[in-house]
Structure 1
Amino acid sequence: MSDSNTTNFTNPSTFILLGIPGLEAAYVWISIGFCTMYIIAILGNFIILFIVRTEPSLHGPMYYFLCMLAVTDLVLTTSTLPKLLSIFWFNSREIEFSACLTQLFFVHCFSGIESGILVAMALDRYVAICDPLRHSSILTNLVVAKIGLAVVLRSVILVLPYPFLARQWPYCRTNVIPHTHCEHMAVVKLSCADIRISNYYGLFALSFRVGLDLFFITVSYIQILRAIFTFYIPGLFSSLSYRLGHNVPLHFHILLANVYLLVPPMLNPIIYGVRTKQIRDRLLRLLPHNGIQLLSWFSGSQTELHAQLAGDMVQGPLP
């Protein structure tokens, strides 16, 4: 009876996700860290959506882009973390072939959407700083909607070939993926065919998206690079290490790939939300006074918050 992992097949019915080979003994501790980051990402992004939705003064281009970023982060983390945790906690490693390609598409597509939204946010700041008197007339709600649609369409068009190319390759070696989710190169490298088309196209899509987006962000708003490096550096390393980093330990690559998908959604509500004065002021009204110190630590504006609290003591309680 032949081993099911080496049986010849064109399209396997299922793939087996190994998780993080070599770190099985630490799954409980790793899962606690990832689960904590996931919870913070979910809560943080839902809070951003709630505050922008309920505060009329925040109904503007920058905050619409911030909501787009929050939705993108929610989808990006939810497309990978539940399956990762099921592997760590319940040893549920199987994933159907079609579900694997769907996950592959969502991971790469929404990573591209997030990158495009960062460009849109930088564009908004560029207009606000360089042409403030025409900001509201340039970035109207219709323009914001068109920019959002363009960001989504660009990412969909760039990523759509990934699953289509992956589906056509014959998988006659193994159906075991040494990863926690269906990452593009982790899947196509299992093929026994010549996958240079997938490899070259993946490099083109990565270079086009990251290179172009970084260029526009640098030109429009160079100071925002401090925040977005959290997003780009792990992703670039994760993608290029599959192609060039033959000496990189597999478990390090898989950990970095998951950090790349978790850390930006966890930090974005803090970087773009709590540190934004209007959102911070609104959040202060929702928090009890014993939560003020925690918020000031996140926002890096402790002096400003103390001044605001002093004013509140004079004016009376917040409504």
Structure 2
Amino acid sequence: MAGGLVALFDDVALLARTAAASVDDIGAAAGRASVKAAGVVVDDTAVTPQYVHGLAAERELPIIRRIAVGSLRNKLLIILPAILLLSQFLPVLLTPILMIGGAYLSYEGAEKVWHKLRGHSHAHAEGEEAAPDEDTIVSGAVRTDFILSAEIMVISLNEVVDQPFLSRTVILALVALGITVLVYGVVGLIVKMDDVGLHLSQRSGTGVARLGRGLVKAMPRLLTALTVVGTAAMLWVGGHILLVGTDELGLHVLYETVHHLEEAAHEATGAVGGVVGWLVNTLGSALLGLVVGLLIVLVMNLTVHRWKARSGGGAHA
């Protein structure tokens, strides 16, 4: 009996060590997948602050919290089950679906560029245009986040596609949770830095007070800059999804052109070739996103928005 108990305890210990090793493997795989998706995480962080730019300070964090909850819901309840099922049964559909999202992201970025180029005088003919309500802001941010989240999750899936189904599920859930906390934690810090600066400016220390005043002055400019970066990020990520997607679907000319330009820039610039090559690839993706996005804007203006204007719904563009 004693020998049986000892054997049982040995088996339990072995199972515990195996489980611990599995947890370590899952943690390491989640880390690798998160790092691979880091570029899109940066884009997501740059895009989000524009949605609270200009709002009352006391509403910034509640809105960011609502967007973060919507982002996590996107990842865990919609994107994760969808990509797991598609990767298991219909992997061929992943790329076309992701490209539809890339086209939408390109449209969002191009529409902002279009409005900027046209100016806003037409929008103020009858007085100042009413600011969108919080529900509209949150729903718009969550829609944009959906595309970025899908890109993050698909990139992460590609890194762990050789894992068993259950491990793959746990890893992607960890990536979803970790990246959401990271992105919206950083966004919260960014939009509240002016309040931190105001607090520091009231401290007695001269250096600390000077730092606080500097933060207060710098934050409006930073948020404005992030709005520009966020628009560029939409075009970049959307264009990159389309660029890679067309290559995977057999249309190689676009991807190969950008890749050859990237390699040529890399070889021609020596020590900084990696950075220059990356910039060339990024610019090529952004230009593709802008062209596709502007085409969609044109189609929307000639169809949906014109129909709304004629039916009394108001012009969008």
Same fold (TM over 0.5): no
TM-score tier by shorter-chain length is 0.3 to 0.5
Give the number of the structure whose alpha-carbon radius of gyration is greater.
2
**TM-score when normalising by structure 1:** 0.32
| Structure with greater proportional helix content | 2
